[in-house]
Structure 1
């Protein structure tokens, strides 16, 4: 398949979020460049949202100034989403782990359904390049807190 055909639509939703920032003022990141204006954000649920226990709920991802492409597709200013659940950001110069706290969306997905146990949870997005390594500068969302009851 032609890598241009694999390119997925850039999300241009008018939703505010904080810009990507460097950790501690030092860019410990991979070597794939990102647009310095890039913004990734969680469009739903909102920070402080209460979600129903025992039922899957939708989480959708927003991205501005970059495109979404499946893993292994190397195209300028693209990457794919990783949803971090109840964890901090991983090292920015290594592949993003793949486990129950680090969900990979290597097919270029921009939303998912998740189910979490009752309690307080955090969600955060981190963009990864074709090889699951954060960009330079790293592109990640604000961490939000949700409650499952």
Structure 2
């Protein structure tokens, strides 16, 4: 009898745990502004969005957390199991920042967010935004 009750309790508990995990919405990264296809002047303020995941600084281990990396005029890294590069096209926001101001040359540019874990690696299921395109026009001379 005890074994039957224990088995029933474990079955219910594991079913509830599965239902709870199964119902979680997937994390989503997105660029709040500028809007896709916007025409802007430099410097450009870029605001980052993240849903169903916490923004946590680099070095802070949190399976449901990470920090933003802004990809400028480049595609996602080919190998998403490696740390995200740190260069002019892969800008790290390891302090947990959720916006930045960029100096961009006139012309078309692409922007995309990629969330990294505590070691700057994409998560096992990578969290990244859609790529947006903006056009930077020359500032009017005064």
TM-score of the aligned structures, taking structure 2 as reference length: 0.77
Q: Which has the higher helix share?
A: 2
Match of 2:83 among 86, 92, 95: 95
**Structure of larger gyration radius:** 2
The 8 Å contact of residues 110 and 131 in structure 2, kept in 1 or not, is answered as yes
Question: What SS class does the counterpart of residue 35 from structure 2 fall into?
Answer: coil
1:76 and 1:84 map into 2 onto residues whose CA distance is 22
Corresponding residue number in structure 1 for 2:52: 65
In the TM superposition, 1:24-103 aligns within 5 A as 37-52=26-41, 55-90=42-77, 91-103=79-91
1:124 CA displacement: 0.1
Equivalent position SS for 1:43 = strand
Q: Which runs of no fewer than 5 residues in structure 1 stay unpaired?
A: 1-34
Offset at 1:57?
Answer: 1.8
Hey, which bits of structure 1, 4+ residues long, moved more than 2 A? Answer: none
Residues 1:120 and 2:108 aligned together: yes
Q: How many angstroms apart in 2 are the aligned matches of 1:94 and 1:66?
A: 21
Specify which structure has the bigger relative contact order, considering alpha-carbon pairs within 8 angstroms and separated by 6 or more residues: 1
Q: 1:65, 1:36 → 2: CA distance? A: 6
Deviations 1:86-116 (A, max 9, x none): 0000120100000000000000000000010
Report the count of equivalent residues.
113
How large is the RMSD of aligned CA atoms in angstroms? 1.1
TM-score, normalised by the number of residues in structure 1: 0.74
In 2, the alpha carbon distance for the partners of 1:146 and 1:75 equals 33
